[in-house]
Structure 1
């Protein structure tokens, strides 16, 4: 009964999220940094930076599955959650957009490198199935959303736990700051590729980040509250597959 209730709750949240995404869809904008938007050199550079984290993540996932085979269900849930939630987008900077990331849940449960793999898979599926983002820009998008975002979320969660902040507060801050960190990095990536003629990279970063902030701040707050609801549902029903949550909470404290 616990499993059924949890699945129904997650399904309801996913349906609502998809509804808002479908009604906000605009083909004039692509999710993340769209295909061909970055110069080839920068696209290749971000691939090179991201690949080592993917390798580390594969080793991390392999070890966790070996120790607890039942966590495969939760790994799948974390990836599906990121895919559905990050499908909600609002047009922002030309060639990009603002949207929730969905990476906080998996980062808290499995650590940042494991979420790098899941986040990259999510971005790949979105590029291939939804034409959101792109293959050449996948490295850049993965670095911001699947590398930096998870590391910030996991670090904030552990830090908050060590200061004995309430569990829900730790989750909210981790997810919100992980989301905002993702878009600060995206702004920096765009600034490096397209520096302003006056003021250079810093001026360009200021412009990109200022525009993103209009839509990203409320989205980050909303994602924080949504993830708190999901995490509390996981704690409440305490399924056998979700015992890893308690392990991470104890380690963080």
Structure 2
């Protein structure tokens, strides 16, 4: 039973036709938290009543990627195995007798969903479901980029391009890592207050400058930044 779901831009990409392999009609949503209502045969990691988060990247725990400490890009992910139907090739959704497809084995935009065991994780019974649903995708992507991938060092200077949910999570990760300067960059100045609240030390808008923003950053810091995070996904910002 889904209690809370985030909305990710990936869901929007599907609507725009920019996410390969999705079959319609489909129930979207892949940042979910809820409570296990029932379990199928062979399920051992959760039981009815458990609080769980659902995640769009499977974790089978058995393939070469899951067993590699440097990667968790499970071989059951959508780039190698379509996730429009459950692994047994059935759909558990219908509308007026017509089959509806699953999305990334999550489909959190529904009151109830059915998922494989390796796409959810049991969480603390006290965890607030409306918050932890973001751990499924957006928050951990940004926070993990700073902490686990870049390994931001204390006292360093970071630039964060894009202050959406993932970008703000990068800001939080840089702060947690002890960065002394966190320069947040976005063309929407309405995002600056939240960015500063979460740890940004400075916020700049490229529209306020005639020169390229990378030149502005070099002048601000004297030599550029130690870590730069591109959290928009456009060729211009890259």
TM over 0.5: no
TM-score bracket, normalised by the shorter chain, equals: under 0.3
Taking structure 1 as the reference length, what is the TM-score of the superposition? 0.24
Q: Which has the higher helix share?
A: 1
Taking structure 2 as the reference length, what is the TM-score of the superposition? 0.25
Based on CA coordinates, which of the two structures has the bigger radius of gyration?
2
Q: Which has the higher strand share?
A: 2
